[in-house]
Structure 1
Amino acid sequence: MKNHKGRQVANLRADAAKVLFQILEEGQSARECLPLAQAQLKDQDKAWLQEMVYGVLRHLPILQFWLRQLLDKPLKNRFKITEHLIMLGFYQLAFSRVSQHAAVSETVAACQSLNTLAMKGLVNAILRTFIREDMANQAAPNEQIASGLPKWLYKKLENAYPTQLAQLVDNMQIKAPIWLRVNTQKITIAEFKQALSAENIEFQTSENHISGLILAKGCDVTTLPGFALGWFAVQDGAAQLAAEYLNPQADENILDCCAAPGGKTCHMIELQPNVKSITALEVDAYRAQRIQENFDRLGHKATIIVGDASQPNSWWDNKQYERILLDAPCSATGIIRRHPDIKWLRKAKDIEVLVELQKQILAAVWSQLKPGGTLLYATCSILPEENHLQISHFLSNTSDAILDTSFNNDSVDKPGRQIFPGDQQMDGFYYARLLKSA
Structure 2
Amino acid sequence: MNRRPNSNNRSRNQGRPQPRNLRADAATVIIAVIDQGQSMGQALPKAQAGYADGRDKGLLAEICYGVMRQLPQLDTQLRRQLSQPLNGKKRILHGLLLAGLYQLKHTRVPAHAVVAESVNACLALRAPGMKGLINGVLRNMERELDTLIDEQFEAEPVKTLHPGWLLKRLQAAYPQQWQEIVDANNAQPPLWLRNNRSVQTREQAIARLDEAGVDARPMGDGDAILLDTPCDVTALPGFMDGDLSVQDLSAQMSAHLIQSQPGDRVLDVCAAPGGKTCHMLEHQPQISEMVAVDLEAKRLERVQQNLDRIGLQATLHCGDASHPYQWWDKQQFDRILLDAPCSATGVIRRNPDSKWLRRDADIAKLAEVQSDILQAIWPLLKPGGTLVYATCSVLPEENAEQIKAFLQQTPDAMLSPIHQQDVSERPGLQLLPQADGGDGFYYARLSKADS
Is TM more than 0.5 here? Answer: yes
Structure 2 residue 341 is matched with structure 1 residue 329:
yes
Compute the displacement of 1:411 (Å).
7.5
Q: For each residue in 1:351-383, what CA deviation from the matched residue of structure 2 results, as whole angstroms up to 9, or x when unmatched?
A: 222111101000001111122211100001111
CA distance in 1, matches of 2:202, 2:176: 39
SS of the residue 1:80 aligns to = helix
Aligned equivalent of 1:197: 210
Aligned equivalent of 2:247: 235
CA distance in 2, matches of 1:42, 1:274: 41
CA distance in 2, matches of 1:163, 1:64: 29
Could you say if the C-alpha distance between residues 411 and 170 of structure 1 is closer, same or farther in structure 2, counting changes exceeding 3 Å? farther
Aligned equivalent of 2:118: 107
Could you say if the C-alpha distance between residues 292 and 106 of structure 1 is closer, same or farther in structure 2, counting changes exceeding 3 Å? closer
Question: Given that residues 408 and 432 in structure 1 are in contact (C-alpha distance below 8 angstroms), is that contact kept between their aligned partners in structure 2?
Answer: no
SS of the residue 1:274 aligns to = coil
Could you say if the C-alpha distance between residues 139 and 421 of structure 1 is closer, same or farther in structure 2, counting changes exceeding 3 Å? same
**More off after superposition, 198-207 vs 114-123:** 114-123
**More off after superposition, 92-101 vs 279-288:** 92-101
CA distance in 2, matches of 1:292, 1:84: 36
Structure 2 residue 281 is matched with structure 1 residue 278:
no
SS of the residue 1:365 aligns to = helix
SS of the residue 1:301 aligns to = coil
**More off after superposition, 317-326 vs 90-99:** 90-99
Match of 1:389 among 398, 401, 420: 401
Aligned equivalent of 1:266: 278
TM-score, L = length of structure 2: 0.90
Could you say if the C-alpha distance between residues 339 and 15 of structure 1 is closer, same or farther in structure 2, counting changes exceeding 3 Å? same
1:183-332 superposed matches below 5 A: 183-209=196-222, 211-332=223-344
Structure 2 residue 149 is matched with structure 1 residue 136:
yes
Question: Given that residues 408 and 416 in structure 1 are in contact (C-alpha distance below 8 angstroms), is that contact kept between their aligned partners in structure 2?
Answer: no
Question: Given that residues 202 and 218 in structure 2 are in contact (C-alpha distance below 8 angstroms), is that contact kept between their aligned partners in structure 1?
Answer: no
Aligned equivalent of 1:170: 183
SS of the residue 1:267 aligns to = helix
Letter in structure 1 aligned against 2:94:
E
Letter in structure 2 aligned against 1:16:
A
1:57-68 superposed matches below 5 A: 57-68=68-79
Compute the displacement of 1:74 (Å).
2.6
Match of 1:405 among 412, 417, 429: 417
Could you say if the C-alpha distance between residues 269 and 411 of structure 1 is closer, same or farther in structure 2, counting changes exceeding 3 Å? closer
CA distance in 1, matches of 2:241, 2:125: 42
Letter in structure 2 aligned against 1:135:
L
Question: Given that residues 9 and 106 in structure 1 are in contact (C-alpha distance below 8 angstroms), is that contact kept between their aligned partners in structure 2?
Answer: no
TM-score, L = length of structure 1: 0.93
SS of the residue 2:267 aligns to = strand
Compute the displacement of 1:423 (Å).
6.8
Question: Given that residues 258 and 386 in structure 2 are in contact (C-alpha distance below 8 angstroms), is that contact kept between their aligned partners in structure 1?
Answer: yes
Q: For each residue in 1:241-272, what CA deviation from the matched residue of structure 2 results, as whole angstroms up to 9, or x when unmatched?
A: 00100110112221111111211111111221
Flag the structure with larger Rg. 2
**More off after superposition, 428-437 vs 405-414:** 405-414
**More off after superposition, 392-401 vs 64-73:** 64-73
Aligned equivalent of 1:350: 362
Letter in structure 2 aligned against 1:323:
R
Compute the displacement of 1:33 (Å).
2.4
**What do you get for the CA RMSD once the two structures are aligned?**
2.1
Letter in structure 2 aligned against 1:151:
G
**More off after superposition, 192-201 vs 407-416:** 407-416
Question: Given that residues 272 and 300 in structure 2 are in contact (C-alpha distance below 8 angstroms), is that contact kept between their aligned partners in structure 1?
Answer: yes
Could you say if the C-alpha distance between residues 29 and 178 of structure 1 is closer, same or farther in structure 2, counting changes exceeding 3 Å? same
Structure 2 residue 58 is matched with structure 1 residue 47:
yes
Letter in structure 2 aligned against 1:165:
W
Could you say if the C-alpha distance between residues 385 and 338 of structure 1 is closer, same or farther in structure 2, counting changes exceeding 3 Å? same
CA distance in 2, matches of 1:424, 1:407: 23
Letter in structure 1 aligned against 2:84:
K
Letter in structure 2 aligned against 1:167:
E
Aligned equivalent of 2:167: 154
**More off after superposition, 71-80 vs 408-417:** 408-417
Number of equivalenced pairs: 432
Could you say if the C-alpha distance between residues 392 and 272 of structure 1 is closer, same or farther in structure 2, counting changes exceeding 3 Å? same
SS of the residue 2:250 aligns to = helix
CA distance in 2, matches of 1:141, 1:339: 25
Aligned equivalent of 1:427: 439
CA distance in 2, matches of 1:208, 1:418: 19
Question: Given that residues 93 and 136 in structure 1 are in contact (C-alpha distance below 8 angstroms), is that contact kept between their aligned partners in structure 2?
Answer: no
Letter in structure 2 aligned against 1:34:
L
